[in-house]
Amino acid sequence: MIVSISGKPGSGKSTIAERLAKALGVPRYYIGGLRRKMAADRGLTLEQLNALGERDDWTDRDVDEYQRELGRQELSFVIEGRTSFHFIPHSFKVFLDVEAVEGARRIFATFERGERPPEAANVRTLEDCEAMLARRIASDVKRYQQHYGIEDIYDRRHYDFVLDTTGLPPDQVFERVLDAVRLQQKQSQ
């Protein structure tokens, strides 16, 4: 079974994708990591790469084609990416939502622990983090609409299972997602 996980920044996508892949005994693919590496290889931040992508689709096409090929070649894995639901339509599509302030708070806490990606070098306050994430969301929506005709990647109608993680600890989010995946597995048999 292929599980694609998407959602808003700070919703817990990475934590849940990692735990889910381990629980299911399947590989995990992280599209955001591939895009960050692509940016770093060119001496750019992710935000700069996204801005380029608003004018030219090469910044997304290679990674998106990679997702499409994974969906064609492999039978079971967990993939975390904003467009994975679109490029692997036969996946079980999970969307993790979170209120913007809570998502920013969670991400800012990781920065304070020293886990700061290059695009967040100038983020000094929670408000800075909220603004950075709002810019990322706006760029994502613009690029995917422009390049692929996806009106809104955050539209819940694209997904099979949607969960608002705002008030939930990671263990509860994981259990609910795992339960939904197991139910889907049973129904598919």
In this prediction, residue 70 carries a pLDDT of: 93
pTM: 0.88
In a domain, 189, yes or no: no
Q: Where are the alpha helices (DSSP H) in the chain?
A: 13-24, 31-41, 46-53, 58-73, 84-87, 100-112, 126-148, 170-188
Strand 77-80 to 92-97 pairing: unpaired
- Give the chain's length: 189
Task: Give me the number of domains the chain comprises.
Answer: 1
Q: What is the CATH number of the domain that holds 123?
A: 3.40.50.300
* pLDDT tens digits along 46-96: 888 888 888 888 888 888 889 999 999 999 999 999 999 999 999 999 999
Q: Where are the alpha helices (DSSP H) in 75-161?
A: 84-87, 100-112, 126-148
Q: How many CA atoms lie within 13 A of 168 on its CB side?
A: 18
In a domain, 24, yes or no: yes
In a domain, 49, yes or no: yes
What range does the domain containing 137 cover?
2-179
In a domain, 88, yes or no: yes
